[in-house]
Structure 1
Amino acid sequence: MPSLAQMTGSLHIHNFYIGKLKAKQEQLFESDPETVMLLDNVVAILSEHAIALAENSPDKEFAEG
């Protein structure tokens, strides 16, 4: 099992890329709807993984944050 520091770092990386993808979706919304849908799917997968990381954390505050 990864350490709490590794899990926290991984969650921060997930959230960073989720934010980047959402910003790119907004930029492409009008011009490239197919790419927006693809990015939406990637965001959903990363979000699910981030939730799983938080739920599996031994630190209750980490899981709630």
Structure 2
Amino acid sequence: MPSLAQMNGSLHIHNFYIGKLKAKQEQLFESGPELAMLLDNVAANAEVLTHDIADMECDD
């Protein structure tokens, strides 16, 4: 299992790219639904990481 620091780093990277993609969301929906689905998948993964990090912090 990854460490808390690794998970926080991964979450930071996810959030960085989510922010960039959300800024271009209008273009994503126009250019193809598969890109919009990719954004949804990345955002969902970041949400799971957020919950996992919170659980790990509570355990410590």
User: What TM bracket, shorter-length normalisation?
Assistant: 0.7 to 0.9
TM-score by length of 2: 0.74
What residue ranges of structure 2 are gaps of 5+ in the alignment?
Answer: none
TM-score by length of 1: 0.69
> Would you say how many aligned residue pairs link Structure 1 and Structure 2?
56
Percentage of identical aligned residues: 50
Describe the superposition over 1:12-44 as per-residue Cα deviations: whole angstroms up to 9, x where unpaired.
100000111111224x26xx7133x33321111
What residue ranges of structure 1 are gaps of 5+ in the alignment?
Answer: 61-65
Is the contact between residue 21 and residue 39 of structure 1 (CA under 8 Å) also seen in structure 2? no
Runs of 4+ in 1 over 4 A off after TM superposition: none
1:41 paired with 2:33, answer: no
The residue that corresponds to 1:10 in the other structure is 10
Larger RCO (CA under 8 A, 6+ residues apart): 2
Is the contact between residue 14 and residue 46 of structure 1 (CA under 8 Å) also seen in structure 2? yes
RMSD of the TM alignment (CA)? 1.9
Q: Aligned equivalents of 1:38 and 1:46: distance in 2?
A: 12
More helix by share: 2
Q: Aligned equivalents of 2:52 and 2:20: distance in 1?
A: 25
